């Protein structure tokens, strides 16, 4: 039994009173439904790295089987469980110092269709500029994906996670540390998996780091999406924004919980969070709970908000007055709602690629 397995098995099942597990209990996320079990039959999904044009990702190093620990403390249950499933080993993607490319990178993750788990670790070099679009697609019964990383001094990273798995459950844990004066745009585009439980955390523990977290999520049919986003401002002069848009249709449930933490010493931190849910059917449910913990008095700003509602009738009338039928107007407004965050995730090429990736899922929202 490895250390992660031991660590996991020593833990109690987290209670529903825990902020992280309030809406999606661990038992429901666990691949077998029995929290006392660590399944043996775990496969590693196939991965591939290319450029958006289908070319080779030159200059990027990929190493398999590295022993990499999670860069900071998170949920003990999720972290130890995924570490146990991946045997503490990660695929390490390293972007060299000063590396720049016009072509975004596509990291394809293709599950085997059974129980899969993978740990992907990304390190960006000093003053590098990279866009990585991680795409999960194909059929999956259960996929656990642990994504860790560290950005280099003065680097720019656009990191977009696109879930297009046809079905199954996704358990995702992200832990990213931002280096000094580095800038990260972190996008989540969710248009797949029947159940999703994501625990996404960022540590701004170097001065001058800058984070923009964006979500464009489509929740349709019987889907259950639960995303927890935790942003910790630890160093002075750090900046973060979160814009999280979920379009909720069918009989689906979506949950967005935010934790914005300004620690003592994070002077001049500037942070804001906004969750926005568009309710497209009477049966769709959406819960957004942003929370703040502010321990520093000297902050530029720290705010949070949430908005839930149906399609705006004035906007709908405006589009109908321009010849769009009621359904066309609604479709256009849903697409616009998701696009307003999607379009901030990268340049025009990335935007076009993302639109293409979610277009078919938009049709499914009407069901």
Partner 1 sequence: MSDNQPVLSIKDLHVGIEGNEILHGINLDIARGEIHAIMGRNGSGKTTAASTIMGHPDYEISSGKISLDGEDLLELEAWERARKGVFLSFQYPQAVPGLQVGHFLRKSVASIRGEDSAKGPVFREALKSAMEEVSIPRSFLSRYVNDGFSGGEKKRFEILQLMLLKPKLAILDETDSGLDIDGIRVVSRGINAAIRGSDSGALIITHYSRILEHVKPDYVHVLIEGKIVKSGGPELALELEERGYEWLESGNNGGE
Site of interaction with partner 1 (CB under 8 A): 312, 314-315, 317-326, 328-329, 332-333, 335-340, 342-343
Q: Smallest distance, Å, CB 323 to partner 1? A: 3
Of residues 285 and 316, the one with the C-beta less far from partner 1:
316
What is the C-alpha to C-alpha distance for residues 258 and 288, in angstroms, rounded to an integer? 8
In the complex, the smallest distance separating the C-beta of residue 348 from partner 1, rounded to whole angstroms, is 9
Q: How far is the CB of 15 from partner 1 (least distance, A)?
A: 39
Buried b vs exposed e over 195-214: b needs ≥16 C-beta within 10 Å?
A: bbbbbbbbbbbbebbbbbbb
Contacts of 108 (CB under 8 A, 6+ apart): 46, 47, 48, 49, 50, 135, 137
* Number of neighbours of residue 100 by Cβ within 10 angstroms: 11
CA dist 154 to 124, 128, 181, 262, 345, Å?
10, 8, 5, 22, 19
Of residues 203 and 245, the one with the C-beta less far from partner 1:
245
Comparing CB distances to partner 1, the nearer of 192 and 243 is 243
Return the number of the residue (48 or 305) whose C-beta is nearest partner 1.
Answer: 305
Compare residues 13 and 317 and give the one whose CB is closer to partner 1: 317
Query: Which letter does DSSP use for residue 43 in this model?
Result: B
Least distance from C-beta 336 to partner 1, angstroms? 3
Q: How far apart are CA 308 and CA 288, in angstroms?
A: 8
Angstrom distance (rounded) from CA 57 to CA 96: 12
Q: Which token pair is 366?
A: 């009407």
Q: φ and ψ at 89, to 5 degrees?
A: -110, 145
Instruction: State the minimum distance, in angstroms, from the CB of residue 326 to partner 1.
Output: 7
Q: How far is the CB of 322 from partner 1 (least distance, A)?
A: 4
Structural contact between residues 365 and 335, judged by C-beta atoms closer than 8 angstroms:
no
Q: Given the complex with partner 1, which of 239 and 337 has the nearer CB atom?
A: 337
Minimal distance in Å, beta carbon 202 to partner 1? 25
Closest to partner 1 by CB, 41 or 348 = 348
């Amino acid at each position: 039994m490895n250390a992660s397995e031991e660590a996991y098995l020593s833990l109690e099942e987290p209670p529903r009173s825990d902020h992280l597990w309030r809406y999606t209990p661990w038992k429901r996320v666990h691949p077998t439904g029995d929290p006392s079990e660590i399944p043996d039959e775990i496969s590693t999904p196939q991965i591939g790295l290319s450029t958006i044009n289908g070319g080779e990702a030159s200059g990027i190093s990929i190493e398999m089987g590295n022993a990499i620990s999670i860069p900071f403390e998170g949920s003990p249950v999720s972290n130890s469980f995924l570490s146990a499933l991946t045997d503490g080993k990660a695929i390490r993607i390293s972007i060299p110092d000063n590396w720049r490319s016009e072509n975004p990178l596509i990291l394809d993750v293709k599950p085997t269709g059974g129980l899969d788990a993978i740990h992907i670790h990304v390190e960006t070099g000093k003053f590098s500029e990279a866009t990585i679009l991680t795409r999960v697609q194909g059929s999956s019964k259960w996929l656990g994906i642990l994504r860790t990383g560290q950005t280099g001094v003065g680097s720019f990273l656009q990191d977009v996670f696109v879930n297009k798995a046809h079905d199954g459950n996704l358990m995702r844990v992200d832990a990213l540390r931002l280096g000094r004066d580095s800038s990260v745009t972190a996008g989540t585009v969710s248009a797949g998996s029947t159940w999703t439980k994501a625990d996404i955390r960022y540590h701004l523990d170097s001065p001058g780091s800058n984070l923009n977290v964006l979500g464009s999520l489509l929740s349709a049919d019987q889907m259950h999406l639960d995303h927890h986003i935790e942003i910790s401002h630890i160093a002075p002069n750090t900046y973060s924004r979160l814009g999280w848009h979920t379009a909720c249709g069918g009989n689906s449930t979506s949950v967005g919980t935010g934790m914005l933490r300004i620690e003592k010493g994070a002077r001049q931190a500037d942070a804001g969070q906004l969750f926005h849910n568009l309710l497209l059917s009477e049966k769709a449910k959406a819960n957004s709970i942003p929370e703040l913990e502010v321990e520093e008095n000297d902050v530029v700003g720290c705010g949070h908000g949430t908005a839930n509602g149906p399609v705006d009738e004035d906007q709908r009338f405006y589009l109908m007055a321009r010849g769009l039928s009621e359904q066309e107007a609604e479709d256009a407004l849903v697409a616009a709602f998701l696009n307003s965050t999607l379009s901030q995730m990268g340049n025009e090429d990335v935007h076009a690629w993302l639109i293409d990736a979610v277009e078919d899922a938009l049709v499914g929202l009407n069901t």
